[in-house]
Amino acid sequence: MKVNFIDITKPERFALVDRMSSWIPGKHKFLDKLPEPWRSRAIGLGYRLGLIPAVGYVKIQPCDEKGVPNKPPTITYNIIPDVSVTVLRSLIAGTSVLYPSHMEFGTGTTPPAVGDTDIETPLSATARLAATVTEPGSYEIRYETFLNSTYGPSRPYTINEFGIFNDLSAGTIIAHALVSPGHAMTGTNTAIATYGLLLR
């Protein structure tokens, strides 16, 4: 298939790109109404075409009981809620030291929205997991954690949503994503969860 790319650096192209961007509202109000997996696919396409600003991704990598990947990962896109933007602004301004630090997983299936202040249904009796932070590229901040074979409530259960926060138990949600298809935690399987915050 031949793909013709638009050079948005040319002034005459700006009007066309702006018009195309208007088809997908910044707050995903239209896309949020699509059923999964079409919602995630449409948002992903919007990111790749440059119609929606990419701010990050979430990856859930299934693993065996030893932490060795054994299935293809689920990669999805996230929403940066309004409360998160305020936190990120304060970090850049140097008026806050509450950095993104802990991941939380849940069973909720409602698509994330910019008004979110928490994930929908956190796993019962399960603490957030501390994330390891790395800088793998010039424009990415990557957070990663390991879900071991005893993590979470009684198995089986399915992880349908993800959130990253700036505190172990309180704090503010920084990003919220729907994991689609959901990741089943059964037997002694494990998983690696990754959140990449993209700066450009």
Alpha carbon of residue 43 to chain centroid: 12
Which two tokens mark 70?
């054994």
pLDDT reported for residue 25:
42
Q: How far apart are CA 191 and CA 64, in angstroms?
A: 8
pLDDT (tens place) for every residue of the chain, 200 residues total: 444 433 433 434 334 444 444 444 444 556 656 676 676 667 666 655 656 555 788 999 999 999 999 999 998 888 888 899 899 899 989 998 889 999 999 999 998 888 899 999 999 999 999 999 999 988 889 999 999 999 999 999 999 999 999 999 999 999 999 998 999 999 999 999 999 988 77
pLDDT reported for residue 139:
81
Which two tokens mark 86?
């305020």
Measuring CA to CA, which residue among 150, 152, 138 is closest to residue 200? 138
Q: Tally Cβ neighbours within 10 Å of residue 155.
A: 14
Measuring CA to CA, which residue among 41, 76, 37 is closest to residue 59? 76
